[in-house]
Amino acid sequence: MPIIELVILLACLVLLSNVLSHYLVAIPVSLIQVGLGLGVALLLNIQVNLQTDWFMLVFIAPMLYNDGRQFPKQELWELRGAIFANAIVLVFITTILGGFLIHVLIPSIPLAVSIALAAILSPTDPVAVQSISEGVKLPKEILHLVSGESLINDASGLIGFKYALAAAVTGSFVLSQAVGDFFYISLVGLAVGLALITLIQVVRDILRREGINDTVFNVVLQILTPFAIYFVAEEWFHASGVVAVVAAGVLSHIQNSHADEDTPELRLVTEKVWNVIVYLLNGIVFLILGIELPVATQATIKGSHTNTFHAIFDVLIVWAILLLIRVAWTYVYMLFNWLRDHNKSKPSLRIATLSGLSGVRGAITMAGVFTIPTVIASGGAFPERALVLFIAAGVIIVSLVAAAGILPLMASRSLPFMTRGSSLDDDDAVLANGPDEPDEDAGDQPDQIGYKQARIYVLQLAVQNIEEHRRPENQRAAYDLILDQQFQIRRLEVASQTADQLAPMLTDEMQLRLVALTGERQAVEEMLANKETSKLAAQAYLRRIDHREQRLERATHRAGLPTLRSLRVLVYRWMQDLRLWLSPADSDKLRAEQLEIQRVASKAAIKALSQYLKQTTVDEQQFDRQALYHLIVHYRNRIESAKADHSLSRADYERQLQTLRIKSLGAERAGVQHLLESGRINLRTAAKLRQFINYSENLLMLNDIDANDE
C-alpha cells in the first residue's frame, strides 16, 4: 500500500479506536488499537516495512521529548535520587538479571538477545503508570517514584537495548569499550541536547525581539525541535539521540515555565498541538503492532523448532520475570525508607504488587523492538527474531490485560486506564478522582465542588443573565442562546450522575415530554377539525409527533442508542421536507401552514405541561426543575422560530446574539470568581473554568471578525 494511503488509513483507525474505547470502557484503547491493526492485516493483507532510522526519528524522538516537557519537576525533585536509581539501577538490574533468567528459562534465545529483550521491555508507559497508580491510591512517595521513573527509564532502557543488540549483531562484546561508549554517547547526548535547546531558545528570543513572534511560526519551530536534536545527536556526534531529546525536553520545560505569562497563547496552542501529535503517534505504534503480529506469529507458529503454545508460555515467563523484579525492587525500597523513618509507610507486599502491575509496557517498547535487524554482521539471520518479536508483543498485551483486569480486583474499584495519547475529555482530566471527590489540592474544605458542578453553576448564571436582558425585540436570539446553554447544562448533569441517579431523572423527563407531545397532538387535531390548516400539513406534523413518541417509548423500555431507527426517522423527515419543497405552486402556503402549526402546537405543549403540574395527583416537586425549564425553553424557541414576521435581518440577529453572549460570559466569569472566593472551588478548577470562558470569548471575537470581513 502506498505510504500516503497507509498513513491516512492508520490515522482513521486511531480515531475509530478511541470511538470504540468510549463504549468498551473496560478495555484499554491500546488493546483496541492492536486488535484493529490485526484485523486490517488479516483482511487487507497489509504490511509495514519498518526501517530503524526513520522509525526511531519519527516515533521515539517526539514522544520522549514530550515526556521531558511534561516532567513534574517540583513534585519529583524531592525523590530525584530514588527516581534516578529506579530509572538507571532498576533498568540495569532488569536488563542483566532479567536477560540472564530469560536465557536460562528459554535457552533457544542467545544471552545477548535475551539481554536486549529484557532491556527494551524495561521502560514503562508513564501515562499508564500515572493513571493506574492514582486510581489504586498508592502512597505518595511510591506514586512519585514509579511515575518519575517511567519518565526517565525510556532513555536508559533504549541505550541498554542498543548495546545488547550490537553485541548480538556483531557477536562480540568488550566491557571496557562498552563502558566507554556508554559514557560517551550518554554524556555527549546530554550535552548536545542541552546545548541545542539552549541555542534554539536564544534564536527564538532574538526573533521575538525582532518582532517575529507569530504563534504558528513558534509552534512549528517547537514541533520540529525534537526531530532536529535527535538527528544532529545521532548523525553528527554519533551520540544518543534518545538522551538528547529527553534532556532537551526537560530543559525546555524549565525555561518555558518562566516565559508562560509573556506568551500564554503560544503555550496553550503548543500543548494542544503536542496532544494531537502524541495521540496519533502512540495510536499508530499500537496499530503497527497489530499489523506486525501476523508476521511475528506466523514465523513462530509455522516454525518447526518452536511450539505455539510453548511460545505463549514463554511470553508469560518473561512477563512474570519482569513483574517479580519490579515487585521486589519496590518492596525493598519501601523497607529501606521505613527503616530510615518509621513515620513513612510500612513495607507492604500488596502495595509492591500494585506498583509492579502498574508497570505497563507501551509505545516505546514496541517502537524499539521493531528496530531489530533481520540479519547479523556475518550475513546470517538474526537469531530468534520472530520469537523475540512474539514475546515483546505478547508481554505488552499481557501487561495491558493484567493491569486492566487484575488491578481493579485488588483495588476493589474501577480504575482510570490511559496510555500516551489517550483521548481524554478536558472535564475528566480535571476530575481524575471522580465528580464527587475534590482534587488533591482541595485542602480541608469538604464543601468544595468539582469541575462539572461548577460549570453547571456558572452556566445557570449565564442563563439567568440572558433572561434578564431578554426583550421582545431580541427574543429569538435570547431563546436560541438559552437553549444552547440548557443543552450544555443537561449534558453536564447527565455526565455527573451515576446510573442509579440518572434513571429517575430520565424517567421524569420522558414523562414530561410525553405530556407535551399529547398537548401538541390535541392542538393539531383541533386545527384540522376547525379547518384552520390543510390535511397535508397536519398529517405531516402528526407523523412527526408519532415518531417522537415512539422514540420516547423505546427509550423508556430499553436502554441504548437505536441508531438505525434514528437514521430512518431522519431520512423520513428529509423526505417530508423535500415533499413540501417540491410541492406545486402552493409550496409557500404549505410551509407557512407548517410554521403556524409549530407555533400553535408549541403553545399548546406549554399549556399542557402547566395543567399537568397543577393536578392534585401530581407532585410538582418530584420533577427535576432543570428538565422542566429545558423543555419549556425548547418550546418557546420553536414559537419564536415559527413566527411569520422575520423582518429582523441576519446581521441584526447575529449582533443581538453576540451582545447577549458577551453579557452571559461576563456573568460566567463573575460566577467563577464568586466560587473561588467562597472556597467552593480550588485554583485548578477556577483556572480550567476561566480557560473555557476565554476560549468561548475568543471564538466569539473570531466569528465577529469573519462576519465583518465578508
Percent of the chain with pLDDT over 90: 9
The DSSP letter of residue 448 is -
Q: Amino acid identity, residue 414?
A: S
Q: CA dist 221 to 13, 264, 273, 582, Å?
A: 28, 17, 12, 55
Check whether 419 has a pLDDT greater than 70.
no
What's the mean pLDDT in 98-104?
A: 91
| C-alpha to C-alpha distance for 34 and 49, rounded to whole angstroms | 17
For residue 25, the number of C-alpha atoms closer than 13 Å in the C-beta half-sphere is: 7
Q: Which of 254-268, 311-325, 629-643 has the lowest mean pLDDT?
A: 254-268
Q: pLDDT tens digits for 541-577?
A: 888 888 888 777 765 554 444 445 555 555 665 665 5
The rounded radius of gyration (Å) of the Cα atoms in the chain is 31
Q: Which three cell numbers stand for residue 698?
A: 475568543
| C-alpha to C-alpha distance for 670 and 677, rounded to whole angstroms | 11
| C-alpha to C-alpha distance for 179 and 188, rounded to whole angstroms | 14
Per-residue model confidence (pLDDT) at position 263: 61
Per-residue model confidence (pLDDT) at position 321: 93
Per-residue model confidence (pLDDT) at position 443: 42
Check whether 237 has a pLDDT greater than 70.
yes
Q: pLDDT tens digits for 435-491?
A: 333 444 444 454 678 888 888 899 989 989 998 998 888 888 888 888 888 888 888
| C-alpha to C-alpha distance for 583 and 585, rounded to whole angstroms | 7
What's the mean pLDDT in 60-64?
A: 84
Q: Assess contact for 328 and 90: CB atoms under 8 A.
A: no
Per-residue model confidence (pLDDT) at position 257: 53
Rounded to the nearest integer, the mean pLDDT of the chain is 77
Per-residue model confidence (pLDDT) at position 623: 62
Higher per-residue pLDDT: 697 or 299: 697
CB atoms within 10 A of CB 272: 11
- Tell me the pLDDT band of 46, cut-offs 50, 70 and 90: confident
| C-alpha to C-alpha distance for 661 and 657, rounded to whole angstroms | 6
Class level of CATH domain 3-373+382-416: mainly alpha
| C-alpha to C-alpha distance for 218 and 545, rounded to whole angstroms | 54
Check whether 122 has a pLDDT greater than 90.
no
Sketch the domain layout of the chain as residue ranges: 3-373+382-416, 427-478+489-496+647-710, 499-644
Alpha-helix residue ranges (DSSP H) falling in 106-214: 111-121, 126-135, 140-170, 175-209
Higher per-residue pLDDT: 133 or 222: 222
- Tell me the pLDDT band of 513, cut-offs 50, 70 and 90: confident
- Tell me the pLDDT band of 495, cut-offs 50, 70 and 90: confident
- Tell me the pLDDT band of 194, cut-offs 50, 70 and 90: very high
| C-alpha to C-alpha distance for 481 and 660, rounded to whole angstroms | 8
Q: Helix (H, G, I), strand (E, B), or coil: what is residue 375?
A: strand
CA nearest to 390, candidates 326, 313, 446: 313
Per-residue model confidence (pLDDT) at position 236: 93
* 3-state helix/strand/coil string of 163-178: HHHHHHHHCCCCHHHH
